Structure 1
């Protein structure tokens, strides 16, 4: 019989998977083995199938709330498109909790049934494609749990079958048989199940206290920090700073260090009275040998100033008449919590008054914008630093599921920076907010949430309206007295209310571990505030396995900050920000989920924003200068993983120009600056390190270094090097590689020449280094920064998979004699090399005659078209097909992505090229279609970036 198009594609795809991988099958139809490897998880495959199916059926024994939460955004997008599904699950081993079943009931577009068979232990995901008459299925070991979808080593097979295939028939029969016998999931069924439910023993997600003879013991982070503090003091330091993410045990760390130090008298200073009692209780637990009366509190209502261990609020302690009651040497150890506040007058008054033997500061966010040098106060001694990302990696915080969805929209209007109160608290928006918070839910038995909004009147009105609708809420603002704040927090902790709605408070200095839902109803003004608010829910607690973070994203110009904050990216690189937007898994089982519309808004915000504007770079520079106590160098930025050194090159040509803009007392000649620009623009990206290494050796060896010695050095370091590279670096460092305009820009004179098999640094440069210490420092700094940056690339190869390269980069790394990037366009065959540059989604403005259908067929095969007016027997096609020609594939998503293309490795031309014809300017012209076989199958998450 004649095969339909889809049948032929399935046949080829099955042949690819089970007979011959050289046969080009379509990725969506090919059999695949899935085992949660890097960039290739069950979660990605399930989401991809959901994005393309007409309906779906999951037959899954075990389901957790967290796994459902990570899929709810995708399911909501499907519901908006009218796509429905079914889930068949079970009560096997009592694994599924009543709460998980209640979460399943929230899925409006999903019908759920409970299998009749008590031993139902299936693990299958089936996706229907009705229009094309086929089904895809993933069957194996993965249940619908966070670990099984993302982290566990699982074995799953994805396969596709036409609707008249025998395996499809058998699969559908079995599913329908089990489905028809199953019991519909109803509220009554859940209530009945709850009465006899006995939970299985799951991994505890609250902190486990290590004890010895009932004594609390430090965790790994605290042990490292304590050792560092001890070493710092042994070296004579009198002050130190600990930077530690919220929820990582700063309070206990302080208590452990005090126990080790054994002060005669100790003072603990905090910004808010609200956490004094909890802090004192933590210290009592560590200092368990001390009597109760050794601990005292100084606040608005307590004045226990004679205690051995004094815990004070800065508001009370800083009052002049109270402060002077103490001797300046009263305390030999002082600890300041929320130390980023020490620049304020109250803190300055206290810290200038006391003269302790040791002063310790603790903060989660040292980056402040008040021009106060926090680091200087603590003598630049950073004893320990652990940020959010590392804390999650170390399992010190509660996992979270971030949900980025669009804010309420009506008639094209959505929240923005100028929204009026009547819009923010309109009945429609309040109903929308409640619907979304109920849908995405929370972990635990009861809702205990924080809502952050932007205006005080909005907070009060929203609290009233949500309470009227059955969600008891109270508002707290900066105007709320401390006693009232304590009262409301206690109500949340005791389950008397569901939400605290706040503005201006609770960004920091508050500890409410029970919080299991964080709602953001405001514009993201800064990454610092975003992380502070996110952190309110990240403390581990009993009966909480994850935190749901729901972010309502309007038309805000600062939307670009969201992915940057979530990933901890401080590079200020636009390319990196776009990459951040694609991140799905932060750490462990913490996930990031954007609805389609919200993701598009953020993408546009990234494209419309200058991430490296002067004000931003000035703040980053000032913070690092404060931290170091000197003018920072590019190496300092690289080592601290803040601004990428190439950002300064892209925006200022060299770092010197930025220092001039910062009004630092610096001066270079035009010739010196030209050399610095060359290093910064052309070499500092580190994509090939050989030029940087040679310059580094020349600096170290008074301007001369033997060619043989250099070759031995590169061999020792296992860096890619051959005769072509040798010739290439000579042309690059002599400037011969570059166009005339670039040569003039870089001063025309060669940096390096070769004399008697020896590399020789230009004598002018040696003189400048000798006579101008600033040039010497900045020249060497640019080289060292580039070498640090080069560590992200595989230097033993010419290119690194999935890193971005410009056409100019490729010309240099392929060792071509000249920079011909301006004339490469789509591809160029030269010196047995053929780089192919593909812009995957071309602009709508591009003439249809050159908008070729370049696309992935599957993760192994790419369909590619030559330029117009090329025949199959033409010289360039013959050269491309020549076995000696190395073909390299570079792809970017669209023209918004800048000049860089992702490298997908070397490819081979399959023997399937076809002559085709397309109309251009009313004239039929030949064009050749080729299938390119990737030497390295595309990493799945990278492949998905370009899937149409």
Structure 2
């Protein structure tokens, strides 16, 4: 018998020694690899059958849910089960029970689709134990299946895509050895990828075959709908529920806040998983300073809790290598696995980790799915993610029950700024930006996290009750304001709802100053555009204030009429008034402009118009001038009513929930001061003041209906 000695890089070898040694052993490793792969397959195939497997209650419940759904005619179904729940055990027994219930059991044929080698070998191992009488074959890389002989085909999505033409599609219900009677998809959240759709559309064009998908996370970051393949999730048991039921071990969660970990500038992958761009993420995380924090944190936790089997999720291969080098140089027994690690070397490293020969195993994206290592007692999350499913997969690696652990320590390296990063507290329902999480969490159990959540929700409830009381007071203030304010003055308040008005004092962009110095001013300002206000100083002059939203700057301008105003009976129908503008002042401080307005009014009250030798400002400008409370003239009312009804009937404007009678009722009560303001505003902008006035009339109407 050929005896081979395999020199394994088990972490005891130093970084530079590894590189010097590995090249010398390369040919030997390649020779050993072929032998090891064959022996590994042989070991799996020759696994001893296990009879009378006792299923957990929830596992049988999941199987029953699938059988009931299929018997009721729903064939495209999904099972959502947390990592560690035994999905492979479930679908192995599900195949057995469906086969037993099938009327053509002698022809029964099942396909299991996986996307990773580890998942295929894991499924093969369980099926050989559960169904030893069946011919189970792999369609995986160098392993080529014979469709005519196989009862169950376990296929990687990559290999089956290349060899699809040797399989027959199911186009009728006639029993045949050539057709599949059942398709199982492991880690089915991947199943809407084009490669899966190609296979399913080919093998099951008429949707005759039951398709059952299994996954711990039925959600995708790329927003593709899983309904393409599944009509219903027939069973769900999540991670938190599995922990509560003691099917998975509890966690102790520690958050390590790193100020240097600034993730705001990192781009998001737009076309794939909507997660952080890995290359940019690595540049920020893979630094000597942050890696030292990771090392020191591990040292402290390892000593405090006697950690023996730590799995580290790094960002990329460079990060893996840097962390491995750092741990090696500090006398820790570590090793690593990446996508470039040869499969047989990977198996050997994992086996050493399971046997405790390696204390720290570092990876990037390898152990998120299809890995069963129950002895993991701690996980270091050195790879922030926006993906809930990825986080669940990473945490799930350490939650399997094991005699040597009561908890799995989850250590999360984060930054307190919320940029969409998913964390364990968020899975429990706690937002990371709450005051409860303003400091680091240290060894917090799941129940303690739930207590934090309950306390947080209680505080939110108390705040909600207080806010309700405040809102009641604000509603009273709003109602009083509406009741005591005529409709046109309401047009100065540019809000979509009454609630927005009550929140005005909390808003930014100087809206509270605008409320104080324009809306509540004693001068009759009008609003003629979204960010523009006007004040008439008489027939020949007026002022305007404009606000630039980008610069937050206000500008005060004075306008002169370039032609004499027409007499009163014609002014309402004139559309050719021309103004000459002069900028008076610019400032981000509205108060400075208001002070300048007061100076202008005072000066103009002493100046004569050069055209008609009369004082420019001849009468009281304030809202409280006696003439403003007289009834509007018939001509004023007629003009304004014409404008309101014209805009109201326009199909281009929104539904104001008003009637023509509502408009006439408003016109009937119109005073001369408001009429002058409306006419002045429409001379500056013909539409905006009218639409604002219609909205204000509608506000007044709604207020009256509430009383």
- Could you state the TM-score of these two structures normalised by the residue count of structure 1? 0.37
The higher radius of gyration belongs to 2
Which has the larger strand fraction? 1
Q: 1 or 2 for the larger relative contact order (CA 8 Å, sep ≥6)?
A: 2
